């Protein structure tokens, strides 16, 4: 199948499906030639407006569900700024795989790339070898080198000129001295290259949900001092909070955009664990980030956008006058600490239904309610998430606690021991664990030191483990 549109006097292909591409059809080919190559071609009219609307809808969906910063990339792509958002969706790889599945359900064949800047991700998504490409920071040059020069979004004449010079790949182009390139093709080509390698910034123009409450300030004179910026933020907050109050909303994510006189944009994002419109609290969160704003030659406009807002009604004041004094709200403290060390570093620990100790704990958001662990055998307060091997173990098979072992260069003579507590491998998670068994022992040595050890295997059947001994925790 192919869609067609009219370009000047000719009807040319706008897009082709996978089967058509396999038969040699490419976008931009005249329809008559395509018909000659594939006689039974199914031809439909292209619908650029409909495509654009669909793209906008997906973009808005992504802005609500994944990250507030979503921008259009050409007529057929989306940029998602995942800074600080990927871990909320289980990491970059899982997020990418989930998005591919989501697009497949919509009937779209998507290609996704994640890189440290928009240009590199764009190039890898459109021209990379895989449908899902993850490129970590610093690897852009290596990842982009084999891609065609066109992946840099050069204009047509520059791309043709490159081809005439024999520069087909980005790697070849990067190896050419910069001076002659600028003289021949202009500055733009090198700017695109620098953007792709992450040497030059490329601000994106986000599609924020249309109804996001926002406040804006324009300055007659560019500002740059920290106190002036703080005062401007205070004014913006007053304005924004008034709007939020009218709409009955509180902010969960706040975006401060500062436009500099040199057309660069500075961005500060803060998040709140619970919807709020407390000015003092938001001002404190933003105030700590002022030092991260680089005013350059001055800022001439500032915008404060409630990128994520949730309904927030009036709070109920306890009717009981005799009740104890109201305690300060922990949600504000969570925002303050998360702003200092990062959201992913503040969490509660909750139970997972798994007997394998390393897997029995998972992290949940600080305001969620954790599930307690079932009452079981004693567990140590300190756990080596990677068990360390111990040597020179003397133990009777199959299930007596060990008498002696050496760990970290010290030999422990054990006088007491509890066990074994047998934990079976979880074959439904990894097929290698089908027969695996761990026998756990809590042991105490002559000096009173208590440890939590395990042996791989049940001591009878060699399929259950190799009888090696491991240190897992200190019992205290």
Partner 1 sequence: MGRALRLKRLRAEVRGIAAAGKDPAAVLPFGLDAIDARLASGGLADAGVHEAAAATQSYSDDAAATLFLAGIAGRRAGRRGTVLWVVARRDLFAPGLAQAGLAPGQLLVAEAERDADVLAVMEEGLRHGALAAVVGEVGRAGLTETRRLQLAAEEGGTMALLLHRWRKGDPLAEPSSALTRWRIGSAPSASLPVPGVGRSRWQVELARQRGGPGFSLLLEACDAQGRLALPALPSHRPDQADRTGERRAA
If the CB atoms of residues 7 and 415 are measured against partner 1, the closer one turns out to be: 415
Instruction: Quote the least distance from Cβ 322 to partner 1, whole Å.
Output: 18
Residue 112: DSSP 8-state: E
**Nearest approach, Cβ of 276 to partner 1 (angstroms)?**
15
Report the residue number, 102 or 347, with the smaller CB distance to partner 1. Answer: 347
* Residue 337 C-beta: closest distance to partner 1, Å: 6
Q: Exposed, middle or buried: residue 441 (CB in 10 Å: 0-12, 13-18, 19+)?
A: buried
Closest separation in Å from C-beta 138 to partner 1? 21
**Can you tell me whether residue 76 is helix, strand or coil?**
coil
List Cβ neighbours of 444 (8 Å cut-off, separation of 6 or more).
414, 415, 416, 417, 450
Using an 8 Å Cβ cutoff, are 439 and 419 in contact?
A: yes
* 272, 309 contact by CB (below 8 A): no
| Two tokens, residue 359 | 């897997």
Q: Please, what is the minimum distance in Å from the beta carbon of residue 472 to partner 1? A: 9
Instruction: Tokens for 186, please give them.
Output: 């202009």
* CB proximity list for 181: less than 8 A, separation 6 or greater: 173, 189, 190
Strand pairing class (2-7; 10-16): antiparallel
In 160-244, beta strands by DSSP E:
214-223
Cβ neighbours of residue 227 closer than 8 Å, sequence gap 6 or more: none
Instruction: Look at residues 194, 201, 203 and name the one whose alpha carbon lies nearest to residue 69.
Output: 203
CB of 449 to partner 1, least distance (A): 4
> What is the rounded distance in angstroms from the CA atom of residue 71 to the CA atom of residue 60?
10
Q: How far is the CB of 387 from partner 1 (least distance, A)?
A: 12
What is the closest distance, in whole angstroms, from the C-beta atom of residue 475 to partner 1 in the complex?
6
Gap between the Cα atoms of 469 and 39, Å rounded: 70
CA 38 to chain centre: 43
385/462 with CB nearer partner 1: 385
Question: What are the residues binding partner 1 (CB under 8 A)?
Answer: 327-330, 332-334, 336-337, 340-341, 345-351, 357, 360-361, 366, 369-373, 376, 378-385, 415-418, 442-444, 446-451, 473-476
Residue 446, classed as helix, strand or coil, is coil
Give 195 or 360: the residue with its C-beta nearer to partner 1. 360
- Alpha carbon distance 126, 74 (integer Å): 11
Cα–Cα distance measured from residue 349 to residue 148, given in angstroms and rounded to the nearest whole number: 48
Shortest distance in whole angstroms from residue 363 CB to partner 1? 8
Nearest-5° angle of CA 71, CA 72, CA 78? 85
- Between residues 224 and 370, which has the closer beta carbon with respect to partner 1? 370
Q: Which is nearer to partner 1, 198 or 387 (CB)?
A: 387
309 CB burial (10 A radius; 0-12, 13-18, 19+): buried
Give the number of residues written for the chain. Answer: 476
Q: Find the Cα–Cα–Cα–Cα dihedral 381, 386, 387, 390, rounded to 10°.
A: -130
Residue 166 in tokens = 């024999």
Minimum distance, C-beta of residue 50 to partner 1, in the bound complex (Å): 48
Residue closer to partner 1 by CB (options 40, 409) is: 409
* Cβ nearer to partner 1, comparing 156 with 447: 447
Tell me how far, at minimum, the Cβ of 432 lies from partner 1, in Å.
24
Handedness of CA 37, 42, 45, 47 (dihedral sign): negative
**Least Cβ distance, residue 362 to partner 1 (angstroms):** 10
């Amino acid at each position: 199948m192919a869609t067609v549109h009219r370009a000047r006097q000719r009807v040319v292909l706008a897009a082709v499906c996978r089967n058509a591409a396999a038969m040699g059809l490419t976008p931009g080919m005249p329809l008559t030639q395509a018909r000659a190559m594939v006689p039974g071609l199914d031809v439909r009219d292209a619908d650029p407006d409909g495509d654009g609307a669909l793209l906008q809808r997906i973009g808005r969906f992504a802005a609500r569900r994944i990250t507030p910063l979503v921008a259009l990339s050409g007529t057929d792509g989306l940029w998602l700024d995942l800074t600080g958002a990927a871990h909320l969706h289980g990491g970059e790889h899982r997020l990418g795989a989930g998005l591919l599945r989501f697009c497949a359900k919509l009937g779209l064949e998507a290609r996704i790339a994640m890189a440290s800047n928009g240009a590199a991700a764009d190039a890898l998504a459109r021209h990379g070898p895989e449908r899902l490409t993850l490129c970590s920071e610093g690897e852009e040059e290596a990842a982009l080198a084999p891609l065609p020069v066109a992946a840099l979004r050069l204009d047509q004449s520059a791309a043709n000129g490159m081809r005439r010079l024999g520069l087909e790949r980005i790697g070849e182009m990067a190896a050419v001295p910069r001076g002659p390139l600028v003289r021949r093709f202009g500055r733009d080509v090198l700017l695109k290259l620098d953007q792709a390698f992450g040497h030059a910034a490329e601000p994106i123009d986000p599609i924020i949900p249309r109804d996001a409450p926002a406040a804006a300030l324009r300055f007659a004179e560019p500002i740059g001092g920290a106190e002036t910026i703080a005062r401007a933020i205070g004014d913006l907050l007053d304005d924004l909070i008034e709007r939020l109050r009218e709409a009955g909303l509180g902010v969960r994510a706040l975006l401060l955009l500062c436009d500099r006189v040199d057309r660069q944009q500075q961005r500060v994002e803060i998040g709140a664990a619970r919807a709020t419109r407390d000015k003092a609290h938001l001002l404190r969160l933003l105030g700590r980030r002022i030092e991260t704003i680089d005013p350059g030659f001055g800022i001439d406009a500032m915008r404060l956008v409630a990128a994520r807002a949730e309904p927030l009604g009036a709070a109920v004041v306890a009717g009981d006058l005799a009740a104890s004094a109201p305690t300060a709200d922990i949600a504000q403290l969570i925002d303050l600490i998360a702003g200092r060390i990062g959201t992913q570093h503040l969490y509660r620990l909750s139970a997972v239904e798994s007997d394998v100790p390393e897997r029995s704990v998972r992290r949940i958001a600080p305001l969620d309610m954790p599930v307690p662990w079932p009452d079981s055998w004693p567990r140590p307060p300190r756990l080596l998430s990677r068990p360390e091997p111990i040597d020179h173990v003397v133990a009777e098979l199959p299930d007596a606690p060990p008498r002696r072992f050496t760990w970290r260069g010290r030999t422990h003579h054990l006088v007491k021991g509890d066990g074994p507590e047998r934990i079976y491998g979880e074959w439904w998670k990894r097929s290698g664990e089908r027969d695996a068994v761990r026998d756990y022992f809590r042991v105490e040595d002559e000096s009173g030191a208590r440890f939590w050890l395990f042996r791989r295997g049940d001591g009878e059947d060699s399929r259950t483990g190799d009888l090696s001994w491991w240190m897992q925790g200190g019992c205290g």
